[in-house]
Amino acid sequence: MQFAFYFNSDACTGCKACQVACKETYHLGPDNLYRRVYNYQGGSWDRNESGTYVPDGVFGYFVSIACNHCAHPACVENCPTGAMQKDEESGVVWTDHEVCIGCKTCQTACPYGAPTYSEDDGFMLKCDMCRDERSLGRKPVCVAACPMRALDFGTWEELTARYGEGDVEIEPLPRNTTEPRLVLNPHRKAQKAGSGTGFVSNLDEEL
Amino acid sequence: METSLTRRSFVAWGAAAAGAATLVGFTGCSSGEPEKSDAGSDGDSAQSEVVAAAETPLVEAGEWLSNTCMYNCSCGVSRCILKVYVEDGVPLKIRTDEEDEDSYALPQRRACVRGRAQISNHLSPARIKYPLKRKNWSPDNPHGELRGKDEWERISWDEALDYVAAEIKRVVDQYGPKGIFCGGATPSTTLRTYDQTVCLLDALGGTVHAEAGTISYGAFPVVDTHMIGGFGMANAPHPLQLRTSELHVLFGCNWTSNLSGNTGWWLNQCRENGAKVIIIDPWLSQTAQVVADEWIPVLPGTDTALMLAICYQWIQDGTYDQDFLDTYTIGFDADHMPEGANPQDNFKDYVLGTYDNEPKTPEWAEPKCGVPAQRIIDLATEVAATDKVNFFASMTSAKIPAGEQLCQAFYTMALMHGGLGTPGHYMGWSGIRSYMGGTVGAGSFSSIDLNPVNPLAPAGSPVYMFYPIPVFSKLDGADWENMEPSETWQSILDGEYGRDCWPEGKHKIDFHAMYLGGGRNYLNQQPNANAGIKAIRKMDFVWADNPYFDPTRQYCDILLPVAGFWEKGNVAYSEDQTVTIWADRIMEPLYESKTEGWIAEELAKRLDLDPKVVNPLTDAERSYVTIKNATIMDGETFQTSPLITISQEEAKSFGIDGAETQDEGRISFTEFKEKGYIKYPQKDDAFVPEPYMAFINDPEGSPLATASGKFEIYCQTLAYMVNSVGYSQIAPIAKWQIGDPEQGHGTQTEEYPLLLWTPHTLRRAHSVNDNVTSLREAYPQECFMSVVDAEARGIKNGDVVLMSSPHGQVLRPAKVMPTLVPGAVALQDGAWINIDEETGIDLGGCPNILQAPKASGGGSQSWNGTLVQVEKYTGKLKLGPDKNTPIVVPVGVEE
């Protein structure tokens, strides 16, 4: 079995209910996030004869991203201690805090920057798809929090059957090198990964 | 002067206050324990989708309680369900409505980002923990100049109450009730804005409020009263009706941020099902990024010009509904003017420029609103060619000088398109109206009939929000006082308010004390806050009750800690009337906090007042009537009946002797409490009466409540009422004008060339929640500006910028965006003021530091179009990320 997230960028308003519901549930410190929301924007303005400005190709859309619990997780492959593991039963990628030395190699290796280092604890933290909540039959907190119903959770098989394979190669996400188990429905204005047609408008402190 | 608490100590002190709590479960499921392969799931089919067989079930030793957010986040159009997990009296995590049916007609009530952060809000270090006295304040020497920068000392409840009672008595004896300014709300029926100290002050002879104006609604209420004969926000479409429109034309309306709840989700489903959405807004808002098929950028405060040009184009093309106008309206053309009016003053001839030689063409509008003429023509053509159009204006669009003219233009445009009263045709503002179908509502928390009234607010004086300007003829010389909120602070400094044209001229005021509790963050939330600080510092005595040490409370002398909503609870609560929520008591009052009722009763005892007069019901009685008087209105028959069945035993549980029971409700009290809420069972195919249907079907028999009985495109009573108050001057028809010589597009100067507008943010509900770190991280308080304006100033995304207006300066990081119209900047409302005393610069980024004190029209505020400048900051002040900035706590108080 492989659990996965579904994300519909075409319905995401960037409200960050997912990010904050998660963060509050796990009482994460001010510099730790398991899920973050990017705003990708682009376009320019032309001045016309009357002195006003007219938009040219202006667009904006949101991408909410957590750990993608990849089929080939770079974090696991690069972990020097074996603390980072992929659970065979569920496909969930998780950190054994007893073993983790907090070297941050996983964070650097992950194309999505998913693992986050806890200064307080001295080890890496990351999304485990709300293992405890799921053990009581509940969906992951972020999924159930989404006011736009833009997130879903299930097995990779279920989700791809329901939504198709989607496309994870949209800006500002990287090219697919790890087989992320994320079914992403791109926003109708989404830009191809690597196209560089816009930029992430979030301030650094948001990410 | 600031103290930082770590996340662990938040909970530690919260836990300590709640008594002997363990922190089991606090670290949640990120414990890093291996997923044991020998433990299976319990095989429950509901769990099979989310649980791998090997995962160990979590043990929850605590209980799940029910509550909500009781903040003014949505203008009454939503209310969300919070499920709070509590262990040993400590709230540890929140879930929401996620298991119920989730359909368009009966959606889940999922909490927004703010609801999800409520544990951090309630347990925040910003809580006032004990009664406090400002160190250098004494009755004999108040040292008012130190307000906002003095140290504090912890005092006992008795000391605090004695001080407050003595000061109230002294000021009332010496100066009468008009010596006290009340920044709190007039008591209403909801727990949210009910503070018995205001009742106490009313029982003592009243105080002067500043509620002769609307902070929220812009110019709409007065226009609605006279032009369309009723409150337009109540005639917005129901969600079931929203989906009958083919085209939605929204002016502003960042619904997914402003209203939360399901409003934006409903509109997005309309789009997904084939309706088109056009959003006209200075920025490509969060909502527009998802919901808009087309975005038309417009300069803030200039929509009136755009609307008039649309009307012009329709007149030129003959693509408007002349029959509708002839039957249901007056004033559109010379043939349909009211008696006594000059026929030349009709709307059509104004738009065509027949007499002023200035046709309101798209070319005329372009330099005013910034929308190219051809774009206006295309928009007008598309709207005209579409039958069923939902016209929707945000309240913000009408918060401009002489904003009535925008409302008039908006309604005139919608009336020209015609079709109102039939499915798909709407003209609304505020938000879509679930409550126009069937409803479920809690009983009132406070009975208006039992509360003392403010003798200084007699009948005919302004009615807060709904008719905010004085009706002089009704007042008939009565002794009344009620200030206009935008100008409050400047009025206090000037010693007078109003206008010379009022029957008795301007009203003199002379305050010596201020009550700044009453459920409001008054200093933070009114324009011209720097003048507010000056005014407050002139007082002999300033006190407040509140749960939070927010900016208003930081400038007081005595602070009384109030229990938060979660610490009171035990009430049924409803806001949008389609769900009634049972609010459990989540935890006991933290530290030494008390309820407002207790405080007022204690003060009453010290002032020789009957506590029963200032607080007419006990907490148990209030709790009981919210249940007992809860009703359901059937959406088909419009019959109202009791919502909740109450047995003798259940009634007894409220501790009231001989409480009446009732047996015909839809749900027993015990079931209600257990479930935590009851929703109106809205059916997908239900009939909801179309707005204005009765009038449209029978214009003679069911006239509108306007002077003519029709929609008044030419509205004499409106112009008369607004002009008689004298804040601004308007015409009886919609006209484009520069409503104020120092505000809005057309008045920019070299010194202040940019137009400020102040959208809401999901970081706060107005100013509530600004103390929450996770929300500060999610939404930094930013100066949103266009790539064009930023480039001209050498400003890059993230640079610290100084925003200046004639009224103050704030320091903020710039967010430089291609998705915002050049010439405008945005600063989101409600950020907590944090003045650097040396420079006078506000480090918190509160837009009211910049806002001008300008009353407009019918007592509405002209927030939008304030002139500002933005420059890259090169001074010595440092600005770290909001999330890492310590929450301000009282200095000098030992923990």
Query: Rounded distance, CA A74 to CA A106, Å?
Result: 7
Q: Tell me if chain A has a CB within 8 Å of the CB of B875.
A: no
- Judging contacts by C-beta atoms under 8 Å, the chain A residues touching residue B788 are 45, 53
Q: Tell me if chain B has a CB within 8 Å of the CB of A186.
A: no
- Judging contacts by C-beta atoms under 8 Å, the chain A residues touching residue B822 are 45, 53
- Among B residues 268-287, those touching chain A with beta carbons less than 8 Å apart: 268, 284, 286-287
Answer whether B116 sits within 8 Å of A144, measured CB to CB: no
In sequence order, the 6+-apart residues with CB closer than 8 A to the CB of B4 are B886, B887
In sequence order, the 6+-apart residues with CB closer than 8 A to the CB of B16 are none
Express as a percent the part of chain B with pLDDT over 90. 84
The stretch B645-663 carries a mean pLDDT of 87
Q: Tell me if chain A has a CB within 8 Å of the CB of B169.
A: no
In sequence order, the 6+-apart residues with CB closer than 8 A to the CB of B221 are B214, B231, B465, B466, B467, B468, B858, B860
Fold classification of A3-67+128-206 is: Alpha-Beta Plaits (3.30.70)
Q: Over 70: is that where the pLDDT of B400 sits? A: yes
Q: How far is A176 from chain B (nearest CA, A)?
A: 25
Query: Rounded distance, CA B15 to CA B825, Å?
Result: 43
Q: Over 50: is that where the pLDDT of B721 sits? A: yes
Report whether B767 contacts B524 (CB < 8 A). yes
Chain B CA closest to residue A127: B30
ipTM: 0.98
Report whether B157 contacts B592 (CB < 8 A). yes
- Of A19-23, B205-209, B255-259, B814-818, the poorest mean pLDDT is in B255-259
Q: Tell me if chain B has a CB within 8 Å of the CB of A81.
A: no
Give the β-pairing of A84-86 and A93-95: antiparallel
Answer whether A131 sits within 8 Å of B29, measured CB to CB: yes
Answer whether A206 sits within 8 Å of B265, measured CB to CB: no
Instruction: Render pLDDT for B539-553 as a digit per residue (tens, 0 to 9).
Output: 999 999 999 999 999
Answer whether B55 sits within 8 Å of A90, measured CB to CB: yes
Quote the tokens at residue B387. Answer: 């039958």
Bridge partners of residue B825, in order along the sequence: B756, B785
- Judging contacts by C-beta atoms under 8 Å, the chain B residues touching residue A8 are none
Q: Over 70: is that where the pLDDT of B9 sits? A: no
- Judging contacts by C-beta atoms under 8 Å, the chain A residues touching residue B286 are 13-15, 62
* Domain locations in chain A as residue ranges: 3-67+128-206
The stretch B265-293 carries a mean pLDDT of 98
Q: How far is B817 from chain A (nearest CA, A)?
A: 7
Q: Tell me if chain A has a CB within 8 Å of the CB of B96.
A: yes
pLDDT of residue B661: 86
- Of A176-185, B29-38, B329-338, B411-420, the poorest mean pLDDT is in B29-38
Chain A CA closest to residue B782: A203
In sequence order, the 6+-apart residues with CB closer than 8 A to the CB of B504 are none
Confidence of residue B34 (pLDDT cuts 50, 70, 90): very low
pLDDT of residue B28: 32
pLDDT of residue B435: 86
Interhelix angle B716-725/B404-417, nearest 10 degrees: 170
The stretch B848-864 carries a mean pLDDT of 92
Q: Over 50: is that where the pLDDT of B48 sits? A: no
Q: Over 90: is that where the pLDDT of B355 sits? A: yes
pLDDT of residue B448: 82
Instruction: Render pLDDT for B495-507 as a digit per residue (tens, 0 to 9).
Output: 999 999 999 999 9
Query: Rounded distance, CA B190 to CA B178, Å?
Result: 27
Answer whether A131 sits within 8 Å of B116, measured CB to CB: no
The stretch B700-725 carries a mean pLDDT of 97
Q: Tell me if chain A has a CB within 8 Å of the CB of B122.
A: no
Q: Tell me if chain A has a CB within 8 Å of the CB of B717.
A: no
Q: In B545-663, which residue ranges form alpha helices assigned H by DSSP?
A: 551-554, 565-568, 596-606, 611-614, 619-628, 648-652
pLDDT of residue B36: 35
pLDDT of residue B57: 86
- For A137, the closest of B27, B47, B884 (CB atoms) is B47
Select the residue from B289, B369, B779 to test the A interface by mutation, using most A Cβ atoms within 10 A. B289
Using DSSP's 3-state secondary structure scheme, residue B150 falls into coil
Q: Tell me if chain B has a CB within 8 Å of the CB of A49.
A: no
Q: A149 versus A48: which is more confidently predicted? A: A149
Report whether B665 contacts B88 (CB < 8 A). no
pLDDT of residue B23: 30
- Judging contacts by C-beta atoms under 8 Å, the chain B residues touching residue A149 are 102, 265
Using DSSP's 3-state secondary structure scheme, residue B479 falls into coil
Confidence of residue B53 (pLDDT cuts 50, 70, 90): low
Instruction: Render pLDDT for B109-147 as a digit per residue (tens, 0 to 9).
Output: 999 999 999 999 999 999 999 999 999 999 999 999 999
Closest CA to B284 of B829, B826, B866: B826
- Judging contacts by C-beta atoms under 8 Å, the chain A residues touching residue B53 are 89
Confidence of residue B5 (pLDDT cuts 50, 70, 90): very low
- For B93, the closest of A12, A25, A45 (CB atoms) is A25
- Among A residues 144-173, those touching chain B with beta carbons less than 8 Å apart: 144-149, 153-155, 158
In sequence order, the 6+-apart residues with CB closer than 8 A to the CB of B153 are B132, B133, B135, B892, B893
Answer whether A133 sits within 8 Å of B29, measured CB to CB: yes
- Among A residues 7-36, those touching chain B with beta carbons less than 8 Å apart: 10-17, 19-21, 23-31, 33
The stretch B394-417 carries a mean pLDDT of 96
* Interface size, chain A vs chain B, as Cβ–Cβ contacts under 8 Å: 250
Instruction: Render pLDDT for B417-457 as a digit per residue (tens, 0 to 9).
Output: 999 999 999 999 988 888 888 999 999 999 888 999 999 99
Closest CA to A66 of A97, A110, A102: A110
pLDDT of residue B820: 98
- Judging contacts by C-beta atoms under 8 Å, the chain B residues touching residue A162 are none
Residue B842 dihedral angles phi and psi, to the nearest 5°: -85, 120
Q: A166 versus B233: which is more confidently predicted? A: A166
- For A15, the closest of B54, B762, B823 (CB atoms) is B762
DSSP B406: H
- Judging contacts by C-beta atoms under 8 Å, the chain B residues touching residue A198 are 818
Bridge partners of residue B86, in order along the sequence: B63, B91
Q: Over 80: is that where the pLDDT of B266 sits? A: yes
Select the residue from A89, A199, A205 to test the B interface by mutation, using most B Cβ atoms within 10 A. A205
Confidence of residue B463 (pLDDT cuts 50, 70, 90): confident
Closest CA to B528 of B825, B110, B808, B307: B808
- Judging contacts by C-beta atoms under 8 Å, the chain B residues touching residue A119 are none
Closest CA to B677 of B644, B633, B652: B644
pLDDT of residue B658: 79
The stretch B806-816 carries a mean pLDDT of 98
Does A73 sit behind a cis peptide bond, omega within 30 degrees of 0 on the bond before it?
no
Q: How far is A195 from chain B (nearest CA, A)?
A: 17
Using DSSP's 3-state secondary structure scheme, residue B168 falls into helix
Q: How far is B247 from chain A (nearest CA, A)?
A: 19
Report whether B540 contacts B166 (CB < 8 A). no
The stretch B385-414 carries a mean pLDDT of 97
- Judging contacts by C-beta atoms under 8 Å, the chain A residues touching residue B821 are 53
Q: Tell me if chain B has a CB within 8 Å of the CB of A201.
A: yes
Closest CA to B365 of B373, B374, B357, B356: B373
Quickly tell me which residue has 């320091």 as its tokens. Answer: B811
pLDDT of residue B464: 78
Express as a percent the part of chain A with pLDDT over 70. 100
- Among B residues 826-855, those touching chain A with beta carbons less than 8 Å apart: none
pLDDT of residue B49: 64
Express as a percent the part of chain B with pLDDT over 70. 94
The stretch B672-697 carries a mean pLDDT of 96
- Among B residues 351-380, those touching chain A with beta carbons less than 8 Å apart: 366-367, 370-372
- Of B294-303, B439-448, B840-849, the poorest mean pLDDT is in B439-448
Select the residue from B50, B363, B776 to test the A interface by mutation, using most A Cβ atoms within 10 A. B50
Q: Tell me if chain A has a CB within 8 Å of the CB of B94.
A: yes
Confidence of residue B45 (pLDDT cuts 50, 70, 90): very low
Answer whether A11 sits within 8 Å of B290, measured CB to CB: yes
Give the C-alpha distances (Å, rounded to integers) separating B209 from B174, B554, B791, B889.
19, 20, 45, 28
Query: What number of residues does chain B have?
Result: 895
- Judging contacts by C-beta atoms under 8 Å, the chain A residues touching residue B37 are 89
Query: Rounded distance, CA B424 to CA B421, Å?
Result: 9
Domains and CATH numbers, chain B: 7-122 (no CATH), 132-215+440-679 (3.40.50.740), 220-429+715-725 (3.40.228.10), 754-884 (2.40.40.20)
Query: Rounded distance, CA A110 to CA A123, Å?
Result: 16
Answer whether A89 sits within 8 Å of B284, measured CB to CB: no
Instruction: State the average pLDDT for chain B.
Output: 92
Q: Over 60: is that where the pLDDT of A206 sits? A: yes
* pTM (two decimals): 0.95
Quote the tokens at residue B115. Answer: 């609801």
**What is the signed CA dihedral for B538, B539, B542, B548, rounded to 10 degrees?**
-10
Q: Over 50: is that where the pLDDT of A186 sits? A: yes
